[in-house]
């Protein structure tokens, strides 16, 4: 059984799918590991470290992809600069595990099915207790939540903590976090550690206790509809609920020095939470960090991938924040992948794709030429 780690070619992607420590464990289990030359370079893991862990370093991507039984990646496969497609390198019957953005880019899924590849999408790992160690959305969202606060702190022309000094007393910064999922909760914890006063809001009432246990105030909005869909994710809410929400949060946005938005609804454009009108009411010098920038943004003024100043407010729309912390992002992602692979490799070290396993069943988007995910098929129809 040969596991291969591809070098990421997407611009700005600094993570790598496996780190040397994890390679050593796989090799000890009797698996062969190939790593593409320079795969770990941008996350500070050298070819020699992979070699010392027992991996073979492969220079030619076509060989690495084409002879892999399981190909591991972070970003979805790409078209290469030389015009060749990474997917075309894969052999029929091999397994690809990666973030695939299957709902945002169903064409990739179709291509993988046509190539007879068994593709598992890390976005589709169920958010269940058994799947926790494989949950790459969570491991990476947590990094993004942490980093968003550091970015905000660096951009804010103020201190975060309260300080009593000989030159006077400094009031603590007020941070408002919108969306208290994995990223939002980590942002609350990080902002609290920096000494800020934190408020948070989410349409899922179940997060209230988690928010409070982290030392933040929960801003409650009473909505008359169900806001939680299957799997615990938020639902898209009605226009009336959106309006009700905006009425409540406007005051909190206005009073905040920093607003961090993290709200997402799977498979949909990110909900608009901060309107232009709300930004206009904020104090000059305040900062918005929009973690949903890549999905269209929670703030009307966000320009994805850019830092802009609008009406005196700094609005930051970072893209792929986990990649800015590639050492730990790769370490956690590698653990997520190896946990998932344990379900795909039998005791005899043969490939097993068992759809009776709910995690494999949920994550596998293509198998034997078929697209297995109903929502992706609907997108393509
Ligand atoms: P996400 O990234 O999909 O969304 C981020 C947050 O935005 C969520 O808390 C969501 O409720 C919120 N949101 C959506 N629309 C909003 C709106 N209009 N206004 C305000 N907030 C809005 O969420 P996530 O962090 O991936 O978590 C999704 C779910 O999965 C949660 O229920 C979480 O607790 C659960 N989860 C479970 C496990 C586990 O049990 N193993 C692990 C991770 C996450």
Determine if ligand 1 sits within 6 Å of the CB of residue 178.
Answer: yes
Q: How many helices (H) and strands (E) does the chain have?
A: 13, 17
pLDDT band at residue 222 using 50, 70 and 90 as cut-offs: confident
b/e map 352-369, b = 16+ CB within 10 Å: eeeeeeebbebbbbbbee
Residue numbers annotated as active site:
127, 132, 135, 138, 233
* Cα angle 235, 240, 246; round to 5: 85
Determine if ligand 1 sits within 6 Å of the CB of residue 177.
Answer: no
Give phi and psi for 65, each to the nearest 5.
Answer: -70, -40
Determine if ligand 1 sits within 6 Å of the CB of residue 135.
Answer: yes
Q: In this structure, which residue's CA is closest to atom 10 in ligand 1? A: 234
Out of 181, 189, 295, 332, mutate this one to test ligand 1's pocket (max ligand atoms within 8 Å of CB): namely 181
Place of tokens 């780190």: 19
Q: pLDDT per residue over 41-59, tens digit each?
A: 999 999 999 999 999 999 9
Rounded Cα distance, 151 and 339, in Å: 31
Rounded Cα distance, 238 and 224, in Å: 10
- Confidence (pTM): 0.96
Task: Look at residue 347 and tell me whether its pLDDT is greater than 80.
Answer: yes
The pLDDT, as a whole number, for residue 378 is 87
The pLDDT, as a whole number, for residue 64 is 97
Average of pLDDT values for 327-341? 98
Give phi and psi for 115, each to the nearest 5.
Answer: -85, 0
| Average pLDDT score over the chain | 96
Structure tokens at 293: 């920038």
Structure tokens at 249: 């949060």
pLDDT band at residue 259 using 50, 70 and 90 as cut-offs: very high
ipTM of predicted assembly, 2 dp: 0.96
Q: In this structure, which residue's CA is closest to atom 29 in ligand 1? A: 233
């Amino acid at each position: 059984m040969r596991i291969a780690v591809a070098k990421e070619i997407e611009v700005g992607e600094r993570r790598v799918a496996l780190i040397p420590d994890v390679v050593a464990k796989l090799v000890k289990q009797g698996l062969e590991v190939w790593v593409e030359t320079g795969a770990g370079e941008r996350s500070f893991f050298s070819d020699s470290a992979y070699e010392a862990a027992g991996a073979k370093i492969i220079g030619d991507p076509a060989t690495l992809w084409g002879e892999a039984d399981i190909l591991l990646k972070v970003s979805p496969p790409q078209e290469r600069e030389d015009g060749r497609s990474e997917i075309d390198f894969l052999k029929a019957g091999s397994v690809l595990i990666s973030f695939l953005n299957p709902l945002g880019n169903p064409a990739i899924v179709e291509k993988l099915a046509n190539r007879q590849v068994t593709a598992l999408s890390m976005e589709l790992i169920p958010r269940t207790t058994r799947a926790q160690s494989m949950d790459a959305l969570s491991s990476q969202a947590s990094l993004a939540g942490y980093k968003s606060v550091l970015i905000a702190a660096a951009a804010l022309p103020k201190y975060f903590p309260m300080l009593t000094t000989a030159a006077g007393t400094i009031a603590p910064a007020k941070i408002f976090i919108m969306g208290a999922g994995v990223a939002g909760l980590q942002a609350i914890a990080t902002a609290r550690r920096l000494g800020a006063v934190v408020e948070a809001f989410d349409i899922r009432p179940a997060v209230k206790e988690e928010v409070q246990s982290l030392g933040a105030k929960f801003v409650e909005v009473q909505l008359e509809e169900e806001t939680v869909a299957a799997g615990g994710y938020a639902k898209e809410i009605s226009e009336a609920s959106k309006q009700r929400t905006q009425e409540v949060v406007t005051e909190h946005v206005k009073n905040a020095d920093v607003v961090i938005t993290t709200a997402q609804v799977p498979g949909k454009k990110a909900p608009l939470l901060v309107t232009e009108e709300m930004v206009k009411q904020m104090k000059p010098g305040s900062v918005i960090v929009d973690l949903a920038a890549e999905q269209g943004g929670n703030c009307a003024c966000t320009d994805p991938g850019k830092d802009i100043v609008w009406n005196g407010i700094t609005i930051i729309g970072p893209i792929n924040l986990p990649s800015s912390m590639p050492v730990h992002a790769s370490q956690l992602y590698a653990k997520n992948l190896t946990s998932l692979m344990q379900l795909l490799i039998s005791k005899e070290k043969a490939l097993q794709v068992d759809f009776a396993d709910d995690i494999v069943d949920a994550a596998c988007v293509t198998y034997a030429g078929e697209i297995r995910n109903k929502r992706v098929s609907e997108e393509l129809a």
